[in-house]
Amino acid sequence: MKKTLLISSLCLGSMALGAFITKSLENEAITIDIVKKAEKIIGLEFTQPEADSMLAKLTTTRKNFEENRKVELKNEVAPALVFNPLPQGFEFEKGASYFKASNIVKITLPKDKNELAFYSVRQLAALIQSKQITSLELTKFFLERLKKYDLKLACVVTLTEELALKQASQADAEIAAGKYKGLLHGIPYGAKDLLAKKGYKTTWGSVPYKDQVLDYDATVIQRLEKAGAVLCAKLTLGELAMGDVWFGGTTKNPWDLKRGSSGSSAGSASSVSAGLLPFAIGSETLGSIVSPSSECGDTGLRPTFGRVPRTGAMALSWSMDKLGPICRTVEDCAIVFNAIYGKDDQDQSVIDAPFQFDGNKKDLKGIKIAYLKKDFEGKYPNKTQDSLTLVMMKKLGAELIPLELPNLPSSDISFLLTVEAAAAFDELTRSGKDDLMVRQVKNAWPTSFRAARLVPAVEYLQANRHRTLLIQEFNNRLKGIDVYLSPAFASRNLTMTNLTGHPCVVLPNGFRAEGRPTSITFMGKLFGEGKLLQVAKIYQDATDFHLKHPKL
């Protein structure tokens, strides 16, 4: 064992202290001097008699750790504690679920076939349903684009060409037989490579796992296959879901190849932006859908925590991980979300709640919309574009209600993520294989995993208690409000709402002077994706930013 923990930070005993050494210390005595040094890490001080009285308990607890470590815990094993984002008194939307796609005008094949690269899912579905193009033709088209432009973008880990051609042929046969499954039938897509697909590598973007093959399909993959979608590629993610650097390089932003795509849903955002796929599945723990979608000019949906099952997805933080679509349009996000949300017997965090969406809704009547007044009034780079978004919302009939975020800790309790991540990748740290990872700087995962082990379990639980207060206060602030607008990054909103589990849609709202897109964030109530998507769609339909694309 290359690295081990002297006194575990995750023990739920009377005290949890920590210090790394370079060998197993199972038989080495814990002394008062060790306890006194550890005090400096946790910010507490004990008297000599108090420290002396702890030694026997700490020695016993360390033996417990050593015994526990003899039992293998794979990444998919979740803790017995399940995070629930519902505040006291929370009420779901009333009524049954329903989904109505927009009524689309007649779509015809473009004279220039290359224009298909930027058609929406809704448009491509109309072409397939009217049999103007087959799924096989469309799949081959996107496979060729993936092969051609991945050389510039480094957005693909594994091309699933054989599988895609098989699924596309099956879709065509089903459609020809009159068994049309819906708007995703025959539509190509890609999946972030933290989602398992049997028969293909699932690398998590990381050197220690680059040859890993998991013998099952993620639930989201199963549901998309049931809807008839065609998996064309496993897409890049920053190593173990951080950033845009993976074992194969850096995934690029199609708008500026000198820039990374951001992450960690790097390949999902880059490929959709570049017209290599109509949609892709990403994930977010603390910005991994919002950030790359913003950087690459996509439309991304981060669903409510507990909406989409994560079975078969790499666990980073059991209480914060969320799966969602990255698309061209808000309606495309709704179409994909409608196929993947809902109860799953294997993911106990998923809550059964209705999803009600009508893509034909044209006005904001009856919807209460707020905005983070102080954040929009502050000084930040994209203020001009965001101000124009507020102007447009008023033109569309929104009466914007001023809203302030709760004055409670968010960044100060965000270490919850790294503590859970350190537990998820405990074996990586203890085995020393974290040295194989590409990024080894101070703010990279290897350092974060090691440092997180020194967080006392008491403080982890205290932070979760603060989180309870935050969830409750957020619910109080949002009473009577359906949707609110936030700058994409110029506030505490991103961190705070990833901790509370609220859903958001991020979409382009303008361009910087150098030509790269900017974005705006629409926030919804817990399990309020229906109204959230409807409001965001009405805004997007009144603009054309999403219709502009990078030139590779």
With left for phi above 0 and alpha for psi between -120 and 50, is residue 67 left, alpha or beta?
Answer: alpha
Q: How far is CA 461 from CA 38, 85, 89, 456, 490, in A?
A: 19, 16, 23, 9, 29
Distance of CA 140 to the CA centre of its chain: 28
Run of H or E residues at 27: none
Residue (of 216, 462, 494, 225) closest to 372 by Cα position: 494
Active site residues: 192, 264, 288
Q: Are 136 and 165 in contact (CB under 8 A)?
A: yes
CA-nearest of 308, 126, 345, 330 to 221 is: 308
Tell me the pairing of strands 230-235 and 188-192: parallel
Are 7 and 41 spatial neighbours (Cβ–Cβ below 8 Å)?
no
Report phi then psi at 179, rounded to 5. Answer: -110, 60
Sequence-ordered list of residues with C-beta below 8 angstroms from that of 391, at least 6 positions apart, any chain: none
Are the C-beta atoms of 408 and 497 separated by less than 8 Å? no
| Contact (Cβ atoms closer than 8 angstroms) between residue 452 and residue 417 | no
3-state secondary structure 223-254: HHHHCCCEEEEEECCCCCCCCCEECCEECEEC
